[in-house]
Amino acid sequence: MRTMRASAKAGALALAMLGAMLSSRAAVQAGEWDFSGSIAGELRVFPNAPAFDEQDDTRFSPSVAVEPEVVFEWNGGDDRITFVPFGRLDAHDDNRSHVDLRELNWLHVADDWDSVVGVDKVFWGVTESRHLVDIINQDDAVEDVDGEDKLGQPMINLNLFRDWGTVSGFVLPGFRERPFRSNDARLRGALPVDDDNASYESSAEEYHVDFALRWAHTFDDLDVGIAHFHGTSREPRLLPRVNDDGRVVLVPRYDQIDQTSLDAQLTKDAWLWKLEAITRSGQGDRFFATVAGFEYTIFGILDSNADLGLLAEYLYDGRDEDDAPAVITDDDLFLGARATLNDEQDTTFLIGGIIDREDQSTSFSIEAERRLGEFWKMELEGRIFVNVDEDDLILNGIRDDDVITLRLTRFF
């Protein structure tokens, strides 16, 4: 796959650079090594038969994932190299069996600035239901449908720390294509995606150099971030085509975009007020999208140590789906609750639903986790699709793919 080749090229470039750094005998002798990571066994359960004949009807799908982390520090901790590979072996989805270089970078820390060179992950955002402003890294879409898992991104990142805020600049040499599920996999959608024949607006294709700039600052109880991105859209348009076998498939198309974003969070006692907003050009007419809402926390419910957070967010997206990638959250409401038991096992529960205000199509999610001793963690996740309208381009394709995931992780 092209995505695996791009990952290998990015890894080779970063490895050569970091190898040159480590070739200094003085640095190696004076430095400190740290090894950690995790290995997880996962079982996905699909209660319903698939909607499409070519999909695998297996109801139980096991997999195993490993994510080691190697850190080398020297110069009193002011220089650090981090290496985080990731790999998964899935019993039924060939595309979900994959490897990726999540991180391989050199961090240098100075008095009022730091820099990162190599492959890294960068997160921007404050809202719960959707991260509009989080644009640096590509989604690892074979891992889950929630967009939380990301591929490593080659970058040169410089951060300047000033009294009036932090300025972060990014040069992003090399684009990562979004991976998609296999043709016979669950959660693939109504039509399979032919990601081997992706096309680009830029003649440089995956070698286009992207740029991003962000300013962030805290004003008492208010955290604010303003950013601009110029380059290849992480969201591809999926265009219908007839392949050589005469089948209709979707082919990714990656456009050149400019996106300006704002994220803000205001903390007032038990209230968290959250906002993410973007304006984007390059995919049809310029459009505006936003997620805005709050989280209210009830501390010590029923005279216990547990806290209960109540969440509500409104999601709007004004894009023209004839010219921009389709989304499910164009006029939707998110409602949820988060319970934190504050016990020795760090037990947490999160339940929420995104409801389309026009046709009432609903996507529910359930997440629970609990530590088992010092080195183990158990997780339960659920994705349930209810009252799906047949005109919903995305949810209708996965309407019968409700899934419950059980995961047991061992940390080392």
Per-residue pLDDT of the chain (412 residues; tens, 9 = 90+): 554 555 556 556 556 555 555 554 555 557 899 999 999 999 999 999 999 999 999 899 999 999 999 999 999 999 999 999 999 999 999 999 999 999 999 999 999 999 999 999 999 999 999 999 999 999 999 999 999 999 999 999 999 999 999 999 999 999 999 999 999 999 999 999 999 999 999 999 999 999 999 999 999 999 999 999 999 999 999 999 999 888 999 999 999 999 999 999 999 999 999 999 999 999 999 999 999 999 999 999 999 999 999 999 999 999 998 999 999 999 999 999 999 999 999 999 999 999 999 999 999 999 999 999 999 999 999 999 999 998 888 999 999 999 999 999 999 9
- ∠ CA(56), CA(129), CA(286), 5° rounding? 100
d(CA 164, CA 50): 54
Q: Give the DSSP H or E segment for 9.
A: helix 2-22
Q: Are 107 and 129 in contact (CB under 8 A)?
A: no
Coil/strand/helix, residue 319: coil
Predicted pLDDT at 3: 46
Q: Are 240 and 293 in contact (CB under 8 A)?
A: no
Predicted pLDDT at 278: 99
* CATH number, residue 239: 2.40.160
Total domain count, the chain: 1
d(CA 155, CA 14): 9
Predicted pLDDT at 5: 55
Which range marks the domain in which residue 141 is found? 2-411
Predicted pLDDT at 30: 72
Give the pTM: 0.92
Strand 248-254 versus strand 287-298 pairing type: unpaired
Coil/strand/helix, residue 51: coil
Q: Give the DSSP H or E segment for 95.
A: none
- ∠ CA(298), CA(304), CA(306), 5° rounding? 50
How would you list the strands of the sheet with 248-254, edge to edge? 199-200, 248-254, 237-242
- Contacts of residue 231, Cβ cutoff 8 Å, sequence gap at least 6: 172, 175, 208, 209, 210, 211, 212, 256, 257
